Amino acid sequence: MPSQHRIAAGITVLIAICGASNSLVTAEDLFIAGPIGVVYKGDSVTGDFELFGAACLGPIQALALGDADIYAGDQVGAILRFDLATGQFMAVFFLPDAASAMVMDGSDLLVSESLGTIRRVEPLTGAVLSTMTAPIGIEAMHLIGDDLYVTGPTGDVWKGDAQTGGFAYFGCACAGTAQAMANDDENLFVGDNFGLFLRYELATGFLMGEGFLPFDVTAMVMDGEDLLISDSSQNVHRINPLTGVVLDTLPSPIDIQAMQMLPPAVPVTGDIDGDGDVDLDDRDALIAVLLDSPLDPAHVARADLNGDGATNGRDIQDFVNGL
């Protein structure tokens, strides 16, 4: 059968079997919370924050993302669980102290309080599995692999094991109350309540750079190579973390005390248009590539689904397999 006939036959199959769209939560979803017991969700590039979930409890000071849930910790020790897909309030449990910071460690939730106690909690039941103590009061906590970093009122950073503690001094600059941490492949970033922004080398703890931002730092998350920093004046700032240059500022509906963003999505086979799912739009984009319609170079690159360096009818079966 001539090549164009094989392509035509394959396109007929695509039209016949691609009936429904499967939507995914996108990697640009940014969650924020603050003085009232609600969580908002927005886009990390455009903002556009909307109410995500609410429970009538105290100010939220910490957020953590699980596989299917988002957890919010407040100043009276309540840990709220919301469904990550819908925002529906699912459950609440109470710990003895206010949650100053939270991180997920596998399926467990690590919850710190401002005097230095860290509790490992089963997040669906609230059962405390173990407890360890840091050498400082904790205002921010950050996990990289098995390494747990904590910082707080004096601005010094300590590193320990997420299972056992054993904290050792990591680094310090004469900062105020450090309230947020984030990292890239080589650096740990720390921000304080005066806007001091610090960059430590992860391998050594050496201070590699510092500067002042024109706002306080209440929370941080990485977004690709950029750093998103919230302040207490209803803003999220996108900055270059190596220079401190502010690239953009997004307004938020609340003063932000906690912020989290979904991790980068795993590439989806058949996602020709690059929006994170495989649906009718991807079918149409693949057909356009196969018919040499006006082409988007990115669509052409993603349409080589079998990785042979060419885009042709042989890619159709891989697209079908990815549905």
Domain contains 211: yes
Judgement on whether residues 57 and 115 belong to the same structural domain of the protein? yes
**pLDDT value at residue 9:** 55
Report the range of poorest mean pLDDT among 39-43, 57-61, 131-135, 177-181.
Answer: 57-61
Encoded tokens for 288: 């356009």
Which comes out higher in pLDDT, residue 24 or 90?
A: 90
Judgement on whether residues 67 and 9 belong to the same structural domain of the protein? no
Domain contains 67: yes
| pLDDT tops 60 at residue 177 | yes
| pLDDT tops 60 at residue 71 | yes
- Sequence-distant (6+) residues with CB within 8 A of 173 are 155, 196, 198, 207, 210
Judgement on whether residues 247 and 164 belong to the same structural domain of the protein? yes
Judgement on whether residues 162 and 276 belong to the same structural domain of the protein? no
Domain contains 25: no
Judgement on whether residues 218 and 298 belong to the same structural domain of the protein? no
Mean pLDDT across the stretch 141-149?
Answer: 97
| pLDDT tops 80 at residue 20 | no
Q: How confident is the model at residue 322 (pLDDT cuts 50, 70, 90)?
A: low
Judgement on whether residues 162 and 302 belong to the same structural domain of the protein? no
CB atoms near residue 254 (< 10 Å):
18
Q: How confident is the model at residue 188 (pLDDT cuts 50, 70, 90)?
A: very high
* DSSP per-residue string spanning 46-73: TEEEEEEEE-SSS-EEEEEE-SSEEEEE
Mean pLDDT across the stretch 169-176?
Answer: 86
| pLDDT tops 90 at residue 195 | yes
Given 208, 238, 260, which residue is the final one in a domain?
Answer: 260
Q: What is the b/e burial string over 289-317, where b = at least 16 CB atoms within 10 angstroms of the residue's CB?
A: bbeeeeebeebeebbbbeeeeebbbbbbe
**pLDDT value at residue 267:** 64
Identify the CATH number of the domain in which residue 281 sits: 1.10.1330
Domain contains 287: yes
Contact 189, 197 (CB under 8 A): yes
CB atoms near residue 189 (< 10 Å):
23
Identify the CATH number of the domain in which residue 140 sits: 2.130.10.10
**pLDDT value at residue 304:** 86
Report the range of poorest mean pLDDT among 113-127, 162-176, 201-215, 289-303.
Answer: 289-303
In what helix (H) or strand (E) does residue 160 lie, and over which residues does it extend? Answer: strand 157-161
Domain residues for 271?
Answer: 3-15+266-321
Mean pLDDT across the stretch 280-285?
Answer: 84
**pLDDT value at residue 302:** 84
What value does the mean pLDDT of the chain take? 87
Encoded tokens for 60: 């939220």
Domain contains 186: yes
**pLDDT value at residue 228:** 97
Judgement on whether residues 280 and 171 belong to the same structural domain of the protein? no
pTM of the model: 0.76
Q: How confident is the model at residue 274 (pLDDT cuts 50, 70, 90)?
A: confident
Encoded amino acid at 79, one letter: I
**Which residue do the tokens 């098995």 mark?**
146
Mean pLDDT across the stretch 257-281?
Answer: 79
Contact 37, 54 (CB under 8 A): yes
In what helix (H) or strand (E) does residue 150 lie, and over which residues does it extend? Answer: strand 147-151
Domain contains 164: yes
Given 260, 278, 297, which residue is the final one in a domain?
Answer: 260
Mean pLDDT across the stretch 182-188?
Answer: 96
Judgement on whether residues 148 and 193 belong to the same structural domain of the protein? yes
Given 230, 260, 290, which residue is the final one in a domain?
Answer: 260
Judgement on whether residues 11 and 110 belong to the same structural domain of the protein? no
Judgement on whether residues 87 and 212 belong to the same structural domain of the protein? yes
Domain contains 24: no
Judgement on whether residues 174 and 53 belong to the same structural domain of the protein? yes
Mean pLDDT across the stretch 146-164?
Answer: 96
Mean pLDDT across the stretch 303-308?
Answer: 82
The alpha helices in the chain, defined as continuous H runs, are 3-17, 280-290, 297-302, 316-321
| pLDDT tops 90 at residue 261 | yes
Count of domains in the chain?
Answer: 2
Domain contains 23: no
Judgement on whether residues 171 and 291 belong to the same structural domain of the protein? no
CA pair distance 220, 229, nearest whole angstrom: 5
CA pair distance 85, 65, nearest whole angstrom: 12
